[in-house]
């Protein structure tokens, strides 16, 4: 009887955790470094939660983070069942997270049944909350195991190919970051160009530029020319011109210089002290030319910014900060003297 009672209570607790996971609609990025299971005092966390009251409560409520409790409550078989597509994305991700910590040998099968899920969910990492496609989170979480030999190198390469070649998945956050580090292999070229022109995922511009093909120069020039399109519906990481500037860092072509100068003039004219990454990317693009013109361009840019604000000795803090951050990302001794001439702080955009 005691065994039956314990089993009944465990199932009741699992049901309560699933209810809360569905209610919050948020997936928490968990640290899966040591691969150990979470053994928590489940009773103390769950006994005080009244799901009946939560169902009838109309006002906003703060819910406890119960994602890791599945690892304490469920067997491996039960966790595998919870990754079935009949469950919500939040439940499936929580179950997969627990299986990752257990170094489950068949994670690849779970990924293959979930990577195309375009359900949007909220993902929280520390104090940052972002909306992502569930399939993208599955890819990121499972692919994080490749360095821990939980999934094979062959499977990992296949997963990246799925992210790259499956139509529509270029909108995944995982795929966007994959595009930014993609090597210029000939076999990728057609797909990369298709992503730029048909799917309008501009993180692929950098990959396209790495091939340095004359026929693609017009695509980059066009993207650079859209610097004054202020679309509030587009996040800065998806901005066409910002990604075109990143593309210039791998193809410092003379034909791009006139537009770089126009972007500089536009940024100084409209500059309002915001910490957007455009100026940082502009400096990175110019630094890629690595010549005296680039040095003079940056010097003149920071001086112009200084004059605009009536401070002849110092540049505007945001422009100087952008330059310092560009140097932090892509250090080049040619430009070191400018760090002292135009003091600023270092910040990262958190994306590259």
pLDDT tens readout for residues 17-70: 888 888 777 787 765 545 444 445 555 556 556 555 455 555 444 455 677 788
Please report the beta strands in the chain, taking only residues with DSSP state E, as ranges in sequence order.
26-28, 120-125, 128-133
According to the model, what pLDDT value does residue 54 have? Answer: 52
Q: Where are the alpha helices (DSSP H) in the chain?
A: 2-24, 42-46, 51-56, 69-73, 76-82, 89-101, 107-112, 134-143, 153-165, 173-180, 189-197, 204-209, 217-224, 240-248, 257-270, 278-287, 292-308, 317-329, 336-341
The tens-digit pLDDT sequence of the chain (352 residues) is: 333 445 678 888 888 888 888 877 778 776 554 544 444 555 555 655 655 545 555 544 445 567 778 888 899 999 999 999 999 999 999 999 999 989 999 999 999 999 999 999 988 877 778 899 999 999 999 998 877 678 999 999 999 999 999 999 999 999 999 999 999 999 999 999 999 999 999 999 999 999 999 999 999 999 999 998 766 555 678 999 999 999 999 999 999 999 999 999 998 887 554 556 899 999 999 999 999 999 999 999 999 887 765 554 444 447 888 999 999 999 999 999 999 999 877 655 544 4
CA distance 27 to 125: 9
Distances (CA, A) of 289 to 215, 252, 254, 274: 21, 5, 9, 27
CA distance 94 to 109: 16
Counting runs of H as helices and runs of E as strands, what totals does the chain give?
Answer: 19, 3
According to the model, what pLDDT value does residue 21 have? Answer: 83
Q: What does the block give as tokens for 193?
A: 């160009």
Residue pair 79/97 in contact (Cβ under 8 Å)? The answer is no
Please name which of 155, 161, 113 lies closest in space to residue 138, comparing C-alpha atoms. 113
CA distance 152 to 138: 16
User: Above pLDDT 90, what percent of the chain?
Assistant: 59
Residue pair 287/335 in contact (Cβ under 8 Å)? The answer is yes
Q: What does the block give as tokens for 152?
A: 């094979």
Helices 292-308, 278-287: inter-axial angle, 10-degree rounding: 150
**Lookup result for tokens 């068949």:** 106
According to the model, what pLDDT value does residue 157 have? Answer: 94
**Lookup result for tokens 């112009």:** 304
Q: What pTM value is reported for the model?
A: 0.84
């Amino acid at each position: 009887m005691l065994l039956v009672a314990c089993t009944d209570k465990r199932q009741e607790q699992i049901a309560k955790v699933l209810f809360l996971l569905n209610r919050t609609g948020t997936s928490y990025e968990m640290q899966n470094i040591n691969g150990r299971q979470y053994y928590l005092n489940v009773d103390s966390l769950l006994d005080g939660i009244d799901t009946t009251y939560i169902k009838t409560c109309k006002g906003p409520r703060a819910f406890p983070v119960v994602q890791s409790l599945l690892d304490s409550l469920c067997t491996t078989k039960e966790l595998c069942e919870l990754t079935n597509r009949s469950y919500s994305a939040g439940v499936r991700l929580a179950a997969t997270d627990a299986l990752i910590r257990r170094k489950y040998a068949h994670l690849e099968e779970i990924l293959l049944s979930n990577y195309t899920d375009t359900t949007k969910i909220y993902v929280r990492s520390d104090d940052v909350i972002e909306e992502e496609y569930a399939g993208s989170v599955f890819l990121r979480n499972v692919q994080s195991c490749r360095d821990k030999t939980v999934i094979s190198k062959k499977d990992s390469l296949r997963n990246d190919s799925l992210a790259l070649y499956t139509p529509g998945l270029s909108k995944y956050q995982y795929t966007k970051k994959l595009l930014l580090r993609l090597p210029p292999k000939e076999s990728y070229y057609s797909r990369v160009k298709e992503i730029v022109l048909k799917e309008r995922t501009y993180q692929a511009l950098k990959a396209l530029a790495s091939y340095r093909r004359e026929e693609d120069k017009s695509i980059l020039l066009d993207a650079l020319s859209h610097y004054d399109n202020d679309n509030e519906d587009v996040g800065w990481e998806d901005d066409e011109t910002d990604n075109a500037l990143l593309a210039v860092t791998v193809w410092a072509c003379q034909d791009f210089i006139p537009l770089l100068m126009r972007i500089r003039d536009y940024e100084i004219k409209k500059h309002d002290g915001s910490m957007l990454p455009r100026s940082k990317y502009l400096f990175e693009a110019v630094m890629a030319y690595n010549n005296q013109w680039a040095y003079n361009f940056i010097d003149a840019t920071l001086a112009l910014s200084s004059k605009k604000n009536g401070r002849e000795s110092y540049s505007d803090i945001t422009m100087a900060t952008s330059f310092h951050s560009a140097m932090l990302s892509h250090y080049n001794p040619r430009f070191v003297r400018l760090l002292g001439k135009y003091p600023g702080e270092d910040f990262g955009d958190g994306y590259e």
